[in-house]
Amino acid sequence: MKYEAVTIKDIAKALGLSTSTVSRALRDSYEISPETKKIVIEYAQQINYRPNPIALSLKEKRSRSIGIIVCEIANSFFSQAINGIESIAYDKGYNVIIAQSHESYEREILNLQYLASRSIDGLLISVSSETENLDHLINLHKRGFPIVFFDRVVEDLATHKVSVDNYKGAYDATSELIKNGHQNIAMVAGSEFLSITKERVAGYHQALSDHDLPFDANQIEYCLHGGMLYEEVEKALEKLLYHNNNKPTAVIASADKLTTNCLRYFKSKNLQVPSDIAMIGFSNLDLTDLLSPSLSVIRQPAFEIGQVAIELLIKQIENKRPTTEFEKIILPPQMIIRESSGAKKIR
C-alpha cells in the first residue's frame, strides 16, 4: 500500500499556476507578487504540503544524511555518543543512519558499502577492533568523501579526529592504584590494532616508570574482540592471575565490556574486590555506582565527543572548498574514585 504525498504540482493545478511560481512563492522569492504568495502559502499549509526531500537530494546531489559506524549501540559509551551526534544533527537538518560492525572487520566493510550506496553526505566512524587494513576508508577519502573519526581514530588518514585523552586516563588510573599500595598492576587491554589501546598502554607504562616500578609485558593481555566475548576475557585473566610469576594485586580494564566481564570473572572465582584484587575500569555505564563494591572508573565525555565530531563533519560537508587543515581534538577523561580501587589486603 502506497502512501501518496501532495506535491508542488497538485498545488499548481489547484491554483491554476505553474510549478515554478508555486516553488518560488514557497521560497518567498522577490519575483512573486505578495498576493500570489499569500494564496500559495495558505493553500500549501492547508493541505499540509511538505517538499519531497528525495527530489531535493537528487537535484542538489546531497542527501542531508550522514552515516555512523560503531561496534555496538548497546554499549553505553556509543549510545551516549550517538545521543550527542543526534542532538546536533537534527538541529542542522541532517538525519543519521546507524550501522553496527559488532567488532568485525568484514561487517565494517559491508556497512560502509551499504552506507556509501545510500548516498550519505559524510561518515562518522569508530573503527572495529579487528580493523587493521584501512583501504576501504582510504579509497573513499581519496575521492574527497568527508570522514570524521571519533574515539577509535586511526593515524594514517588525514581527516578530523575526536577522541579522549586515553594516555592521561590510563596514567591517572595506574597512579591511583600505585598510590593505594599496589605494585603489581595488570592491564586487560582491547585490540592491539586500536589507537586507544596503544595510548592506554602507553599511559599505564609511563605511570609505572614515573613511580619507579618495573614494566612487565606479561602483565598486559590483549583482547581482540574488545571484551565482547566473555571467554576472551576469562582466558586473559586466567593467564594474568594463574600463569604469571608476578601475580597482580590490581587490574586496569581498558574498555567498557572488558570492565564488566572482569567483574563477572572475579565474581565467578569468588575473588573479593578490592581486597583480593583491586580494579579500575574504563566505563561509561551509569550503574557503576551501584555495584558492590562500587566501581572506580575512567569515564569518557561520550556525549561531547559525539557533538564535536558531528560538528566537524557538517562543517566539512558544507565547505565549498576541499578541506585541507584537519583538526585533532582530544577531550579530557574523568576519573571517579570509588571503592574498587582501594588498598590491597594486608597479610
Partner DNA sequence: CTAAAAACCGGGAACGATTGCATAAATAAA
Partner DNA sequence: TTTATTTATGCAATCGTTCCCGGTTTTTAG
Rounded to whole angstroms, how far apart are CA atoms 194 and 35?
62
**Residue 118 in the binding site for its own copies (CB under 8 A):** yes
Question: CA of 266: how far to CAs of 238, 243, 255, 263, 275, in Å?
Answer: 11, 16, 16, 5, 12
Q: How far is the CB of 318 from DNA (least distance, A)?
A: 15
Strand partners, 220: 187
Grid cell listed for 245: 610469576
**Residue 97 in the binding site for DNA (CB under 7 A):** no
Which residues fall within 8 angstroms of residue 267, CB to CB, at 6 or more apart?
none
- Binding mask 43-82 toward DNA (x if CB under 7 A, else -) reads ------xxxx--xx-xx-x---------------------
Q: Tell me the three state secondary structure of residue 250.
A: strand
| CB-nearer residue toward DNA: 30 or 242 | 30
**Residue 138 in the binding site for its own copies (CB under 8 A):** no
Q: How far is the CB of 320 from DNA (least distance, A)?
A: 15
Among 186, 196, 263, 297, binds its own copies (CB under 8 A): 263
**Subset of residues 34 to 53 that bind its own copies, contact rule: CB under 8 A:** 50-53
**Residue 26 in the binding site for DNA (CB under 7 A):** yes
**CA Rg, the chain, in Å?**
26
β-pairing verdict for 296-299 and 334-336: antiparallel
From DNA, its own copies, none, which one binds at residue 264 (CB under 5 to 8 Å depending on kind)?
A: its own copies
| Contact status, residue 108 vs residue 81, Cβ threshold 8 Å | no
Q: How far is the CB of 81 from its own copies (least distance, A)?
A: 10
- Name the residues that contact DNA, by CB under 7 A: 5, 7-9, 16-21, 23-24, 26-27, 30-36, 49-52, 55-56, 58-59, 61
